[in-house]
Chain A
Amino acid sequence: MSTDAQVAIGIFGVAMVATLGLGIAAMRGRDADREQWAVGGRSFGVILTWVLLAGECYTSFSYLGAAGWAYGYGAPILYLVGYMATGYATVYLFAPMVWSYAARHNLVSVRDILAHRFRSPRFGLVIAIVATLALLPYIQLQIQGMGLVVNAISYNEIPLETAFVIGFVVSAGFVLVSGLRGSAWVSVFKDALVILTIVFLAIYLPLKLFGSYGNLFERLRTERPEWLTLPGNESPGLGVLWFMSTCILNGVAFTVFPSFVAGYLGSKSPNTIRRNAIFLPMYSLLLLVPMMLGMAALFVVPNLEENDLALLSMVTAELPGWVVGIVGVAGALSAIVPMAVFMLCIGTLWGGQSVNRARVVVVASGLAALGGALLFPDALVRLSVLSYEGIAQLVPPLVGGLLWRRMTVQGALAGLLVGEAIVVPLALSGNDPFLGVNAGLLGLVANVIVNVAVSRARPREDAPGPRFQRLSEGSTIPSSSQV
Chain B
Amino acid sequence: MTNHVRGRKSLLWLLVPFLLFVAALPLANRIDPVILGLPFLFFWALLAVILSPLAIWLAARSDPFFQRDEAEPTDVD
Contact = CB atoms under 8 A, between A and B. Distances in A.
Interface of A: 75, 78, 81-83, 85-86, 88-90, 92-93, 96-97, 99-101, 103-105, 117, 212-214, 217-218, 220-221, 225, 228-230, 240, 243-244, 247-248, 251, 269-271, 274-275, 277-279, 281-282, 284-285, 288, 401-405, 464, 466, 469
A212 B37 CA distance: 9
Nearest to B61: A278
B55 to A, nearest CB: 7
Given A217-B42, A240-B29, A281-B53, 20 more contacts: A82-B21, A85-B20, A88-B17, A88-B56, A89-B15, A92-B59, A97-B72, A99-B71, A217-B34, A218-B37, A221-B39, A229-B39, A229-B41, A244-B21, A244-B25, A278-B56, A281-B52, A285-B49, A402-B75, A405-B75
Contact of B77 (A81, A86, A105, A277): A105
Interface in B1-41: 1, 4-5, 11, 14-18, 20-22, 25-26, 29-31, 34, 37-39, 41
A85 B48 contact: yes
Given A228-B41, A229-B29, A92 B14 contact: yes
B21 A247 contact: yes
Given A284-B49, A288-B49, A229 B77 contact: no
A274 B60 contact: yes
B72 A96 contact: yes
Contact of A75 (B18, B22, B41, B71): B41
28 contacts: A75-B29, A81-B45, A81-B48, A81-B49, A85-B21, A89-B17, A89-B55, A92-B60, A93-B5, A97-B4, A97-B72, A217-B37, A217-B42, A221-B31, A240-B25, A247-B21, A247-B25, A274-B63, A277-B56, A281-B53, A281-B56, A282-B49, A285-B50, A402-B4, A402-B74, A403-B75, A404-B75, A405-B75
Contact of B46 (A100, A105, A248, A288): A288
A96 B71 contact: yes
A96 B8 CA distance: 14
B56 A100 contact: no
A240 B44 CA distance: 14
A89 B74 contact: no
A82 B45 contact: yes
Interface residues of B, number: 47
Contacts of B39: 217, 220-221, 228-229
B77 A92 contact: no
B70 A270 contact: yes
A221 to B, nearest CB: 6
B71 A89 contact: no
A171 B70 CA distance: 35
A244 B22 CA distance: 5
Nearest to B23: A244
B49 A466 contact: no
Contacts of A285: 49-50
Nearest to A90: B14
A339 to B, nearest CB: 27
A90 B63 CA distance: 15
Given A85-B17, A248-B22, A278-B56, A78 B1 contact: no
Contact of A403 (B4, B21, B49, B50): B4
